[in-house]
Structure 1
């Protein structure tokens, strides 16, 4: 059975929206970490907005280390109530999100990665379906924008499960839901 692993770029003040502010911190070290995460996964699970951004950017990309090929070839599952069709090796999740994602966890052996997709991550957390949060913290204060956990988010408890520091100053903080350590 696979795990749902949510990977989120965040600023110090918790902003996740339009993460162009991450660019100065992305280096070979950061890239190698991202490469390991992607190649350890069997599929992607994306919200509509993230999917629409990715499908505009990724299909035409290539690189020498195979990251783009892996991103483009792996199965993608898109949670949306407004999309009617998908492309780029993607399938719409139709019906009950919790049931469909639970079935996906049974279908795959390795991780299912969720990139960005704040509303989707919050929904999955509420259903107890996120097995690991990987918060990529960047040493920048953005000041405004959508946050992963906006005001009013229900309380949940998470246990640290790892830390990765990059020489650029960015860090990945790993958390698992309390009770799943």
Structure 2
């Protein structure tokens, strides 16, 4: 069984759109592309390097694949570029019919079933980077085994969010965390079962509480 591991940069208010540059994703008139750039420090570089030091394949949405393909295959003498160029790159797409970046495999049939089949194989983990739209499909179908979420100390307001309508309600367990010198909280979560609601209310509700529940103010 292969694990699907997502790697996501997110603002305090949940925006994940275009962290790397102004031209990354302007959908919806997004104006703040590149919002993560000025927070980068050595701690973040070390954590990123450790997370990408083991063998992996990439599982990407179409837009992130296009960004990567236009960049990494033209970079030389760089460990990340070497890994990205050598690994298999599975692309969830209904529009891309051909790809020139080496080791690209298009998932343009029933993408969800194709991803499930990939997970069921023996092999190395599948890393998802970016892929703001595709990650919603993974969340809706409960296909993510581990989430690396880097929380940046800023708010943007509008933009594509990490958790949206359709996400399956569930508990998450924090397994690792650290904080960069610039205040970025670097976390790793794994699924931890269903939500089990409880209550801090009195065992015997007061008359005012009963009226409140009835909508009387």
Secondary structure of 1:86's partner? coil
Residues 130-149 of structure 1: matches in 2 within 5 Å? 130-149=144-163
Question: What residue number does 1:73 align with?
Answer: 86
Residues 91-110 of structure 1: matches in 2 within 5 Å? 91-110=105-124
**Aligned: 1:36 with 2:50:** yes
Contact 1:42 1:108 (8 Å CA) reproduced: no
Secondary structure of 2:105's partner? strand
Tell me the distance in 2 between the aligned counterparts of 1:123 and 1:21.
Answer: 25
Gap change, CA 1:71 and 1:139, over 3 Å in 2 = same
Deviations 1:62-91 (A, max 9, x none): 345x12211221110000111111222211
Deviations 1:23-77 (A, max 9, x none): 112222212211222222420000011111111111112345x122112211100
Question: What residue number does 1:87 align with?
Answer: 100
**Aligned: 1:161 with 2:161:** no
| Higher normalized strand content (fraction of residues) | 1
* Structure 2 unaligned spans of 5+: 20-33, 195-217
Residues 120-139 of structure 1: matches in 2 within 5 Å? 120-139=134-153
Residues 42-57 of structure 1: matches in 2 within 5 Å? 42-57=56-71
CA RMSD in angstroms, aligned pairs only = 1.9
Secondary structure of 2:163's partner? coil
Runs of 4+ in 1 over 3 A off after TM superposition: none
Question: What residue number does 1:172 align with?
Answer: 186
State the TM-score, normalized to the length of structure 1. 0.88
Contact 2:41 2:181 (8 Å CA) reproduced: no
State the TM-score, normalized to the length of structure 2. 0.75
